[in-house]
């Protein structure tokens, strides 16, 4: 069984995010980058399936990101992934989901695969689109926000559960399939030290856009990020207090009318 | 030579060669372990043996130890008698009297008699303790252990009776073999048996039974808990003479290694294996273990007992099979993961252990295996490791916010100052924890008032690595240690000041393993210096407080008086004392990374300690460790006493 895991390098969720002066991205000083949280579930699920099926099963990590993303890729390799494709090109910065998916589709098209696991969303720009577009481009079924994944014994089908409002939805799918993973799917493992040591020697195939046969950034022009803006400073909060609720409401209405002048 | 002399000689030679064979097995079994250098400081090592074997200094820290002292010396003197008697049987005419003269031989005989009687008394008391008093420290869930202990006590009892019988009959012999004047107890026995049977025959019969038991003992010892007779002396000789609070430095050079940490016999060093042969099963470690005392599955006594059984069971196979032999895993059945994770590394066990067994390193060595090789640990530890890796602190706080606590306080930062006298190591707690931050702020205020030339590392500071190390993540710990050393080396300063005993300990005794040596002061010492120099004046609050000794400050580093002196100088009112204090303090429950693990089994350790404080009727608990502080605050909340009793760091009382 050949499994591909998509891995995005994102700022650590605890990092202080500040927009740069030009409004073209974030300030990277003082920011630590990590594997996208949801991609960790994807890696773990890939490894679990590899362990389950055994034989010559293999997990390949595919990542698009700057050179520094190597660190995140090595972490995935330390967890147990077998090798990786790293798409890095200086001309790529903040590509939109369509561009990302187009490049990924090309890179993945060069690989063999039965299942693609990815995160349900990247915690930085929260698009949740890459996998949907990718499924279309590769022309394979897609199940998103998976909280359980069950491979049939003959490894030709899978049953995927998704948590939806009020219950779980179970979906049968044929393979190959792309599954986006949510929290709860599994408990991502902590890389063992022999794993970390071995990861240093595992192959990372680095590819530029040219290597993938693109002469320019694909998919541009469909959507474009114009500008990144800092959040407006939050206004002051005033608590309305009163013994009885109707009095509080009366006071609130008065404030809205006389001070805020909105009603 | 008489016929029975010849028979005895033959048996003796047989027994001695069997004993030699067993000794060889023991030494070879130790060689299964990894190397460890314990061959330095011979003078101190010999002195250790004099103090701790000869004078039984640690054994005698408890009243029950007197029993051991008596049995120990009783055995020494009685063995002298046995030696003389066997010698006499084999070579008639051999006796101490003929070598040393009647006077000295008589004195030996007299001491034998008196000690013999005392030993009988000591054994009765021991059996009474085991069967009636059943002290906590002797409880173990292995029925074999108790049976064995009782069997050996009874055997010694019988041996002493036989000795008196032999000597009593010896007095009656013609000519008398034993001088009545030097054998007060045997003389009484002589009176009892006089005229009952031929004393010559009686003496021989008693002697034979006695010697056969002794021979049996010689063979039986190495397979029983009394192997400590063989193990304890070398163990005390080879004891750790360095600071107690260090863990071994692991080497990660070999990138093809498949295994890190210890999971089987051969992973431990020879000295760690010798520890197993040295355990006397006194249970003193267990009686002070915070985990054991709060119903956790861990008992340091049990760990050592079980590991010895495991070692004894596995050694033959490993010796025969060579390097290829597959060892039985220790973790799982012999020592469970729950036990391994329950330890706070408080060191109380090691403080008490008469033969100086080192429990903590073994437990951490097994943690190392679980974390680094198996990735198997309580699930709540994973985010802690992640946070330390990504943000260099155990809390999930962005590393770039590390110095946020200092905002508005105008705290000098090393990167700007470059050269200063004191580097104030704020630590993770001081940087991120609310209570810790208030200690850090109080310290800064004091440092400024006293015009100390200081700086902090600010966002360059990372977790000191102590916690990761004790949680078994040596790889992560070393990453942090090396990064910190690199940052520290950028600046010129004279001393590191910490408010955290864990940082204090790790900088003083663990960073030197990585080539970094700097004078380190704990704030209890530093503040006392300032107070002595008149730069710190107490305000006086008239409270009734009690000071809690942090394990890594008091027990491991002997800083016991300084904080108390400081509290007195602050003008605080009455200072009560815990029963368990100083070197024998009781852990708050946070050490060894336990701060970051759930405590779901048994009573919470911090609540146990808070109850102890509440029983003293205090209104203030003084601490000198941010983790102790948190544990007390939580414990007081659990007891609904956080309004009445306040927790204060010693920096917050000036
Ligand atoms: C149905 C739906 C409901 C929503 N409801 C809400 C709501 O109620 N409230 C709200 O605030 N928002 C809502 N959203 C918005 C949502 O939170 C985000 O839009 C979306 O989940 C964020 O994902 P993303 O596009 O950044 O992920 P993507 O960027 O598309 O990433 C998805 C995955 O693709 C892979 N990937 C992406 N980029 C790379 C790369 N460079 N290299 C390798 N792999 C990569 C990774 O595996 C990643 O985890 C909703 C969105 C949807 C679709
Ligand atoms: S170090 Fe403390 S917690 Fe650990 S076994 Fe020893 S006494 Fe118990
Ligand atoms: S380890 Fe030490 S203290 Fe514990 S039972 Fe053995 S000898 Fe006694």
Treating both helix axes as pointing N-terminal to C-terminal, what angle do A70-79 and A37-53 enclose, rounded to 10 degrees?
40
Write out the residues of chain B at the interface with chain A, using a CB-CB cutoff of 8 A: 252, 255-260, 371-375, 377, 379, 382, 385, 387, 390-391, 396-401, 459, 475
Kindly list the distances between the CA atom of residue B323 and the CA atoms of B34, B138, B264, B297, B365, in Å, as whole numbers in the listed order.
Answer: 13, 38, 13, 33, 21
Q: Does A192 touch chain B (CB under 8 A)?
A: yes
Q: Which residue has the tokens 């089987």?
A: B264
Q: Shortest CA distance to B242 belongs to which of B495, B31, B505, B471?
A: B505
Portion 197-216 of A in contact with B at CB < 8 A: 197, 200-201
Answer whether residue B123 shows pLDDT above 70. yes
pLDDT score for B600? 92
pLDDT score for B573? 83
B385-423 pLDDT per residue, tens: 999 999 999 998 999 999 999 999 999 999 999 999 999
Architecture of domain B543-653: 3-Layer(aba) Sandwich (3.40)
Q: Would you state the structure tokens that stand for residue A100, as one six-digit string?
A: 């990302």
Contact of B355 with B280, CB cutoff 8 Å: yes
pLDDT score for B387? 95
CB contact (8 A) between residue B257 and residue A190:
no
Least confident of A36-45, B190-199, B337-346, B488-497: B190-199
CB contact (8 A) between residue A192 and residue B252:
no
Taking phi over 0 as left and psi of -120 to 50 as alpha, with beta for the rest, A27 belongs to beta
Q: Which residue has the tokens 């002396």?
A: B233
Q: Would the CB of B245 count as within 6 Å of ligand 2?
A: no
pLDDT score for B202? 93
pLDDT score for B160? 95
Tell me which chain B residues have a C-beta less than 8 angstroms from the C-beta of A190: 371, 375, 377, 382, 385
SS (H, E, C) B587-652: CCCCCCCHHHCCCCCCCCHHHHHHHHHHCCCCCEEEECCHHHHHHHHHHHHHCCCCCCCEEEEHHH
Ligand (nearest to CA of B52): 3
Mean pLDDT (chain A) is: 92
Ligand 3 centroid from CA B67, angstroms = 16
Treating both helix axes as pointing N-terminal to C-terminal, what angle do B474-488 and B381-391 enclose, rounded to 10 degrees?
30
Q: Which of B373, B382, B391 is the closest to A194 by Cβ?
A: B373
Q: Would the CB of B290 count as within 6 Å of ligand 2?
A: yes
Cα–Cα–Cα angle for B419, B421, B423, rounded to 5 degrees:
85
Nearest CA owner, ligand 3 atom 6: B279
CB contact (8 A) between residue A15 and residue B372:
no
Q: Kindly indicate the confidence band of residue A221, based on its pLDDT and cuts at 50, 70 and 90.
A: low
How many helices (H) and strands (E) would you count in chain B?
Answer: 27, 8
Q: Look at strands A142-151 and A157-164 and give their pairing.
A: antiparallel
B530-574 pLDDT per residue, tens: 999 999 887 777 789 999 999 999 999 999 999 999 999 988 889
Answer whether residue A21 shows pLDDT above 70. yes
Ligand 3 centroid from CA B151, angstroms = 19
pLDDT score for B539? 75
CA atoms within 13 A on the CB side of B328: 15
SS3 A1: coil
Span A219-240, average pLDDT = 80
**Which residues in B420-429 are b (16+ Cβ under 10 Å) and which e?**
bebbbbbbbb
Q: Kindly indicate the confidence band of residue B17, based on its pLDDT and cuts at 50, 70 and 90.
A: very high
Q: Shortest CA distance to B654 belongs to which of B550, B565, B562, B567?
A: B567
Mutation target for B interface from A10, A11, A14, A201: give the one with most B CBs within 10 A. Answer: A14
Class of CATH domain B267-373: mainly alpha
pLDDT score for A82? 97
Q: How far is A217 from chain B (nearest CA, A)?
A: 32
Contact of B296 with B342, CB cutoff 8 Å: yes
Q: Tell which wins on pLDDT, B496 or B543.
A: B496
pLDDT score for A248? 93
Answer whether residue A94 shows pLDDT above 80. no
SS3 B475: helix
pLDDT score for B144? 80
Span B122-142, average pLDDT = 87
Q: Give domain limits for chain B.
A: 3-30+62-237, 267-373, 543-653
Contact of B446 with B530, CB cutoff 8 Å: yes
Q: Would you state the structure tokens that stand for residue B428, as one six-digit string?
A: 């993770």
CB contact (8 A) between residue A193 and residue B372:
yes
Ligand (nearest to CA of A164): 1
Tell me which chain A residues have a C-beta less than 8 angstroms from the C-beta of B475: 193, 196
Class of CATH domain B3-30+62-237: mainly alpha
pLDDT > 70 in chain A, percent: 99
Other C-beta atoms lying within 10 Å of the C-beta of residue B172: 23
Q: Kindly indicate the confidence band of residue B284, based on its pLDDT and cuts at 50, 70 and 90.
A: very high
Question: By 3-state DSSP, what share of chain B in percent is helix, strand and coil, each rounded to 5?
Answer: 60, 5, 35
Answer whether residue B3 shows pLDDT above 90. no
Domain A2-207 has CATH 3.10.20.30: no
> In A80-175, which ranges are continuous DSSP H helix?
97-109, 130-138
Q: Which of B258, B371, B459 is the closest to A194 by Cβ?
A: B258
List every span in chain A annotated with CATH 3.40.50.620.
2-207
Nearest CA owner, ligand 2 atom 8: B289
pLDDT score for A48? 97
Ligand 1 centroid from CA B419, angstroms = 49
B423-462 pLDDT per residue, tens: 999 999 999 999 999 999 999 999 999 999 999 999 999 9
Ligand 1 centroid from CA A120, angstroms = 6
Ligand 2 centroid from CA B359, angstroms = 8
pLDDT score for A220? 67
Complex ipTM more than 0.95, yes or no:
no
Mean pLDDT (chain B) is: 94
Mutation target for B interface from A26, A192, A193: give the one with most B CBs within 10 A. Answer: A193
pLDDT score for A28? 87
CB contact (8 A) between residue B391 and residue A32:
yes
Ligand (nearest to CA of A121): 1
Contact of B36 with B270, CB cutoff 8 Å: yes
pLDDT > 90 in chain B, percent: 85
**What is the rounded CA–CA span in Å between residue B466 and residue B451?**
30
Span B460-484, average pLDDT = 97
How many helices (H) and strands (E) would you count in chain A?
Answer: 6, 11
Residue A207 φ then ψ, to 5°: -135, 140
Ligand 3 centroid from CA B287, angstroms = 10
Q: How far is B634 from chain A (nearest CA, A)?
A: 26
Consecutive H or E run containing A252: helix A245-254
Q: Which residue has the tokens 């602050």?
A: B570
**What is the rounded CA–CA span in Å between residue B639 and residue B645?**
10
Going by the DSSP 8-state scheme, the letter that residue B61 receives in this structure is G
Nearest CA owner, ligand 3 atom 2: B353
CB contact (8 A) between residue A194 and residue B257:
yes
Beta bridge partners of A10: A34
């Amino acid at each position: 069984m050949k499994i591909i895991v998509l891995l995005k390098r994102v700022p650590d969720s605890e990092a202080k995010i500040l927009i740069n002066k030009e409004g073209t991205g974030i300030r990277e000083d003082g920011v630590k980058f990590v594997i996208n949280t949801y991609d960790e579930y994807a890696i773990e699920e890939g490894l679990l399936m590899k362990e389950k099926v055994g034989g010559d099963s293999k997990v390949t990590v595919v990542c698009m990101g700057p050179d520094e993303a190597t660190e995140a890729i090595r972490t995935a390799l330390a967890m147990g992934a077998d090798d990786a494709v790293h798409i890095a090109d200086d001309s790529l910065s903040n590509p939109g989901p369509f561009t990302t998916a187009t490049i990924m589709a090309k890179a993945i098209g060069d690989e063999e695969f039965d299942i693609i696991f990815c995160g349900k969303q990247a915690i930085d720009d929260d698009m949740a689109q890459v996998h949907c577009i990718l499924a279309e481009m590769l022309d394979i079924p897609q199940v998103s926000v998976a909280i359980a994944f069950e491979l049939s014994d003959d490894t030709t089908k899978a049953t995927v559960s998704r948590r939806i409002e009020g219950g779980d939805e179970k979906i049968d799918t044929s393979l190959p399939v792309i599954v986006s993973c949510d929290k709860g799917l599994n408990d991502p493992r902590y890389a063992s030290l022999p794993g970390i040591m071995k990861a240093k020697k595992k192959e990372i195939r680095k590819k530029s856009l040219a290597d993938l046969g693109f002469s320019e950034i694909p998919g541009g022009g469909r959507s474009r990020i114009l500008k990144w803006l800092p959040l407006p400073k939050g206004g002051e909060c005033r608590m309305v207090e009163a013994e009885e609720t109707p009095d509080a409401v009366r006071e609130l209405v008065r404030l809205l009318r006389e001070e805020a002048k909105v009603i | 030579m008489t016929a029975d002399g010849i028979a005895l000689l033959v048996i003796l030679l047989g027994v001695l060669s069997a004993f030699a064979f067993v000794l060889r097995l023991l030494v070879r079994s130790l060689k299964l372990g990894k190397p460890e250098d314990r061959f330095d400081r011979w003078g101190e090592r010999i002195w250790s043996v004099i103090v701790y074997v000869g004078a039984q200094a640690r054994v005698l820290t408890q009243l029950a130890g007197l029993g051991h002292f008596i049995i120990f010396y009783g055995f020494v003197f009685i063995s002298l008698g046995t030696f003389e008697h066997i010698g006499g049987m084999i070579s008639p005419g051999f006796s101490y009297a003929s070598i040393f003269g009647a006077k000295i031989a008589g004195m030996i005989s007299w001491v034998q008699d008196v000690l013999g009687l005392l030993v009988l008394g000591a054994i009765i008391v021991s059996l009474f303790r085991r069967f009636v008093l059943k002290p906590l420290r002797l409880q173990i869930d292995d029925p074999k252990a108790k049976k064995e202990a009782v069997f050996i006590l009874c055997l010694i009892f019988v041996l002493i009776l036989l000795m008196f019988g032999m000597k009593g009959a010896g007095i009656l012999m013609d000519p008398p073999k034993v001088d009545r004047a030097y054998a007060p107890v045997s003389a009484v026995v002589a009176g009892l048996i006089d005229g009952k049977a031929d004393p010559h025959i009686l003496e021989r019969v008693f002697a034979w039974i006695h010697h056969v038991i002794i021979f049996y003992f010689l063979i039986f010892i190495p397979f029983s808990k009394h192997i400590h007779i063989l193990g304890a002396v070398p163990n005390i000789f080879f004891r750790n003479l360095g600071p107690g609070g260090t863990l071994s430095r692991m080497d990660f050079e070999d990138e093809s290694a498949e295994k890190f940490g210890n999971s089987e016999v051969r992973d431990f060093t020879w000295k760690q294996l010798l520890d197993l042969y040295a355990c006397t099963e006194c249970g003193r470690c267990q009686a002070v273990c915070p985990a054991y005392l709060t119903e956790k599955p861990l008992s340091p006594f049990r760990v050592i007992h079980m590991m010895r059984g495991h070692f004894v069971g596995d050694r033959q196979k490993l010796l025969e099979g060579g390097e290829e032999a597959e060892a039985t895993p220790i973790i799982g059945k012999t020592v469970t993961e729950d036990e391994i994770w329950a330890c706070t590394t408080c060191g109380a066990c090691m403080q008490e252990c008469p033969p100086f067994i080192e429990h903590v390193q073994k437990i951490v060595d097994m943690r190392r295996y679980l974390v680094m090789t198996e990735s198997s640990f309580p699930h709540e530890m994973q985010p802690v490791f992640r946070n330390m890796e990504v943000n260099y602190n155990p809390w999930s706080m962005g590393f770039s916010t590390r110095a946020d606590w200092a905002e508005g306080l105008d705290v000098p930062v090393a990167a700007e100052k470059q050269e200063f006298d004191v580097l104030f190591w704020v630590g993770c707690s001081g940087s991120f924890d609310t209570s810790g931050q208030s200690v850090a702020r109080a310290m800064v205020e004091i440092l400024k008032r006293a015009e100390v030339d200081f700086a902090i590392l600010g966002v360059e500071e990372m977790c000191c690595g102590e916690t990761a190390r004790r949680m078994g993540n040596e790889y992560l710990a070393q990453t942090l240690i090396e990064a910190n050393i690199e940052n520290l080396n950028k600046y010129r300063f004279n001393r590191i000041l910490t408010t955290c005993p864990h940082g204090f300990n790790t900088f003083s005794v663990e960073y030197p393993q990585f080539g970094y040596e700097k004078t380190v002061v704990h704030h209890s010492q530093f503040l006392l210096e300032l107070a002595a120099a008149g730069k710190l004046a107490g305000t006086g609050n008239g409270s009734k407080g009690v000071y809690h000794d942090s394990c890594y400050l008091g027990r491991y580093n002997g800083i016991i008086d300084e904080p108390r002196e400081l509290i007195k100088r602050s003008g605080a009112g009455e200072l009560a004392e815990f029963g368990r204090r100083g070197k024998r303090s009781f852990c708050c429950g946070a050490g060894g990374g336990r701060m970051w693990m759930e405590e779901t089994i048994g009573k919470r350790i911090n609540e146990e300690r808070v109850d102890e404080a509440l029983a003293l009727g205090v209104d203030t608990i003084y601490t000198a460790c941010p983790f102790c502080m948190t544990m007390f605050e939580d414990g007081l909340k659990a007891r609904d006493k956080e309004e009445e009793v306040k927790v204060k760091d010693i920096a917050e009382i000036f």
